[in-house]
Amino acid sequence: MTIPLDQIANMPAFSPYYPPLPARYRNVRFHMVCFRADKSALDRVLPWCFEPDPDGNCAAIGIDATWTANYGGFLESVLTVKCSYQGEPGYFAPIAFLNSKSSIPAGREIYGTPKVYSDIRVGMDERVMFTDTRLAGASVLAIRSTMHRPMDPESLPVFAPSWRLKAIPRVDGKGFDVLQVIDGAKCTSDVTVHVCRAGDGVVQFDPSPIYDLTGFAPREYLGAYYMETDYTEGFAEIVHDFLRE
């Protein structure tokens, strides 16, 4: 008997490349640096449906996911920028760099997250945590932060709504099969925060011929934060479907 279509999680149909959701994460380390960039940098990376924050608020996030049930261990760095959608303030991630082969198609196909494969190192040097992202042997994003101040998890910056633009082109070149605004902020549950700290941080963007983020050179830093957490990642919310208007 052939495989019923409603039993296919993703391709290959007989052995899906990544397990279906939910996905469990344990002991994930996050460090993030909040900063302000020139508004023109946000203009360049935001799709037309989002209005950039006039103050240019952004955050660079380094992630060390040492154990995940669905994808194994991986390292990641993310740029997120403040914006508004239909008058509601939130955040949009123009790019996410990973060194994982299986979580990249899962993130792109399920959530529309713009994941890009890269070389990443996350570690500690004395009291400074670092995330280095490299493409073709050169740095494109470097994050450095400390964690010397205690902090209540309730005081952490909230990057919600957390929007994506899920865009899948038609195979015949005639527009899109999928074009949706997605909010990923509500897809996490069963969250346990083990450590929450604050400190100081810096971010550096170097030139790249393909993913050049140098326009995001910080004009002002707004703090750095650190967190270790467990959580479950499930399905997200479709905010708007452009093909059903």
The per-residue pLDDT for range 88-111, each reduced to its tens digit, is 999 999 999 999 988 999 999 999
- The answer to whether residue 14 is domain-embedded is no
Task: Identify whether the C-beta of residue 75 lies closer than 8 Å to the C-beta of residue 66.
Answer: no
How many domains are there within the chain? 1
The whole-number pLDDT of residue 112 equals 97
The whole-number pLDDT of residue 101 equals 87
Q: Which of 24, 25, 20, 17 is nearest to 6 (CA)?
A: 20
- The answer to whether residue 170 is domain-embedded is yes
Give the CATH number for residue 69: 2.40.400.10
- The answer to whether residue 147 is domain-embedded is yes
Q: How far, in Å, CA of 34 to CA of 9, rounded?
A: 37
| pLDDT mean by block of 10 residues, the chain; 245 residues | 93 94 98 98 97 98 97 97 98 97 94 97 97 97 98 95 97 97 96 98 97 98 98 97 92
Sort residue 72 into left (φ over 0), alpha (ψ -120 to 50) or beta.
Answer: left
Tell me which DSSP letter residue 111 carries: I
Q: How far, in Å, CA of 27 to CA of 104, rounded?
A: 20
- The answer to whether residue 120 is domain-embedded is yes
Q: How far, in Å, CA of 83 to CA of 135, rounded?
A: 27
Sort residue 5 into left (φ over 0), alpha (ψ -120 to 50) or beta.
Answer: alpha
Q: How far, in Å, CA of 142 to CA of 203, rounded?
A: 6
Structure tokens at 51: 């209005």
This model's pTM is above 0.85: yes
The whole-number pLDDT of residue 126 equals 96
- Residue 97's domain comprises 23-244
- The answer to whether residue 17 is domain-embedded is no
- The answer to whether residue 168 is domain-embedded is yes
Q: How far, in Å, CA of 136 to CA of 206, rounded?
A: 12
Task: Count CB atoms within 10 A of the CB of residue 169.
Answer: 12
- The answer to whether residue 15 is domain-embedded is no
Task: Identify whether the C-beta of residue 197 lies closer than 8 Å to the C-beta of residue 149.
Answer: yes
- The answer to whether residue 161 is domain-embedded is yes
